Structure 1
Amino acid sequence: MSDRDSRHKASMERLKTHVDEKVARADQERGLLLVNTGNGKGKTTAAWGTVTRSLGYGYKVGVVQFIKGLWECGERNRLEDDPNLEVVVMATGFTWETQDREADTQACLAVWQDAERMLADPETYLVVLDEITYMLKFGYLDIERVKRALENRPPEQTVIITGRSAHRELIGMADTVTEMQEVRHAFNAGVKARRGIDY
């Protein structure tokens, strides 16, 4: 065995020991709170990937879309016939298009009632609150009301929150926080969003 191969084998043995120790320490089994935030692309896409994964195991899933409801959504189109999936959309489009705070607040509160119902349902394995961070940032939703629903959800239920500038209290509550960081985005160079890739 060459020197390089020996070093590689020793390194992999150390890595395996480290990973095995972490696996052995992970003895809790419960639902999680995940936050996908940051200014980079992929927050909602990652959430839909987890929706697909949960549906693949036959779990019941609820998705509430707070911002992009009027946009085409390839993932929603593909999965909407699954009887285990419920999708509720705010359906007002982007808030900078409507420019009507009162109407947007009422639309947000209406779909939030659906979200609260999902968050209270012990049969719902996964709930995605897509772009809810904006609802908190603009003051359409009260952070305490959101926290209460998250804290009182069934213990086996996982929730994914997506959107830029996640509220610090949600980040503090979360089990896993992923920040998507933009390095470069084609849109900033004048490239249109692409069907099947961006939506």
Structure 2
Amino acid sequence: MSDAPNDPGEATRHAEKKAKIKAARDKMMAEKTGEKGLIIIHTGPGKGKSSSAFGMILRCIAHQMPCGVVQFIKGAMSTGERDLILGHFADLCQFHTMGEGFTWETQDLERDKAAAARAWKKAKELIRDERNRMVLLDEINIALRYDYLDLGEVVEFLRDEKPPMTHVVLTGRNAKPELIELADLVTEMTVVKHPFRAGIKAQAGVEF
């Protein structure tokens, strides 16, 4: 069944309205000619921060763009995204899982700080390599929230040393205001409903 209006006058008005929208959109897009490496933040209490970031990593892979991932919190647990990338796209995406697992599992502040320091060293190495079009710093916001890393150092490095055309994506709840101010693109995920509240555990293909 067609969704087209039955009234010829309505069809004409619809076409005219859409033509105006298209003209305005085309004008706006013609003015957007710049390109730069973006600082992108995914934060907030809702699900989807890392998932969305890995979607961008897969886009880079699809475009044959070298990229990298550093996971600041996740540890040895197998995840679909890591298995996929290491199993099929390791030539395009360097993947480094450097966390010790959830912070409540280690219960060792110095150990968590040491792991975060190693992850940050690797992150800087990947970002400085201008061959990498995008670098994902997965859950770095959590490391910063618990003061495992020096916020000033992270902000200064991203501001002063990130190559001009390299995208850097930072994920995790409670992004620091200083990073939000520095970023070019910030998305906050909110919670409307979550199955965990109904007693449903994390499941393969959804959470990992």
Partner of 1:126: 134
In the aligned structure 2, how far is the partner of 1:17 from the partner of 1:169? Answer: 38
Q: Does 1:148 align with 2:143?
A: no
Partner of 1:70: 76
In the aligned structure 2, how far is the partner of 1:11 from the partner of 1:69? Answer: 53
Partner of 1:137: 145
In the aligned structure 1, how far is the partner of 2:57 from the partner of 2:113? Answer: 27
Deviation track 1:46-94 (CA, whole Å, cap 9, x = no partner) reads: 1111111101111111101111233321011111132111111123100
In the aligned structure 1, how far is the partner of 2:189 from the partner of 2:56? Answer: 16
Within the candidate set 122, 129, 132, 1:114 is matched to: 122
In the aligned structure 2, how far is the partner of 1:13 from the partner of 1:196? Answer: 41
Matched AA of 1:13: A
Partner of 1:187: 196
Query: Any conservation in 2 of the 1:120–1:149 contact (CA below 8 Å)?
Result: no
Partner of 2:39: 33
Partner of 1:13: 19
Query: Any conservation in 1 of the 2:99–2:119 contact (CA below 8 Å)?
Result: no
The worse-fitting range, judged by mean Cα deviation, of 45-54 and 21-30 is 21-30
In the aligned structure 1, how far is the partner of 2:156 from the partner of 2:122? Answer: 15
Partner SS for 2:163: coil
Partner SS for 1:36: strand
- How far apart are residue 197 of structure 1 and its match? 1.8
Q: Structure 1 runs of 4+ off > 4 angstroms?
A: none
- How far apart are residue 138 of structure 1 and its match? 0.5
Normalized against structure 2, the TM-score is what?
0.91
Normalized against structure 1, the TM-score is what?
0.95
Deviation track 1:99-155 (CA, whole Å, cap 9, x = no partner) reads: 111110011001110001111111111000010001111111111111122121111
Q: Does 1:24 align with 2:30?
A: yes
Within the candidate set 96, 100, 104, 1:96 is matched to: 104
Deviation track 1:137-177 (CA, whole Å, cap 9, x = no partner) reads: 11111111111221211111001111111111111111111
Partner SS for 1:124: coil
Partner SS for 1:110: helix
In the aligned structure 1, how far is the partner of 2:29 from the partner of 2:71? Answer: 34
Q: Once superposed, what is the RMSD of the aligned Cα atoms?
A: 1.3
- How far apart are residue 194 of structure 1 and its match? 1.0
Larger radius of gyration: 2
In the aligned structure 2, how far is the partner of 1:119 from the partner of 1:135? Answer: 18
In the aligned structure 2, how far is the partner of 1:189 from the partner of 1:66? Answer: 29
Q: Does 1:161 align with 2:170?
A: yes
Partner SS for 2:169: strand
Query: Any conservation in 1 of the 2:39–2:183 contact (CA below 8 Å)?
Result: yes
Matched AA of 2:166: Q
In the aligned structure 2, how far is the partner of 1:183 from the partner of 1:8? Answer: 34
**Structure 2, unpaired ranges of 5+:** 1-6
Partner SS for 1:80: helix
